[in-house]
Amino acid sequence: MELLGVKDIPQLVLKTRTALIGNCFLVNFNSDIKEIAIHIKQKASIKLPDAIIAASALYMGMPLISADKDLTRVEGLDLILLKP
């Protein structure tokens, strides 16, 4: 939703991001991810959607690729920070 829900997103960017997402797998929101997200919100001052995304990466034991510098506040997250 964050990758595609950008106002006035250029068609080429939309098409590229959609193709990228097509090569990914979905992680269903569950009670474990919810608890991790709550813990993240208690420790780091980040938005709830970002906490859920970070919690999903932690739950799956996978790195998270993002340009969001706020995610550097999440302890234990294997973050690959992209420059915008």
Owning domain of residue 64? 27-81
Q: What pLDDT does residue 26 have? A: 84
Q: Which of 2, 21, 4 is nearest to 13 (CA)?
A: 4
Contacts 24+ apart (CB under 8 A), 20-27: 27/56, 27/59, 27/60
In a domain, 5, yes or no: no
Q: What is the pTM of this model?
A: 0.81
Q: How confident is the model at residue 25 (pLDDT cuts 50, 70, 90)?
A: confident
Contacts of 59 (CB under 8 A, 6+ apart): 27, 32, 33, 36
In a domain, 8, yes or no: no
Predicted confidence (pLDDT) per residue in 44-82, tens digit: 999 999 999 999 999 999 999 998 999 999 999 999 998
In a domain, 44, yes or no: yes
Q: What pLDDT does residue 84 have? A: 67
Count: domains in the chain: 1
Q: How confident is the model at residue 83 (pLDDT cuts 50, 70, 90)?
A: confident
3-state secondary structure of 65: strand
Chain Cα centroid distance, residue 7: 19
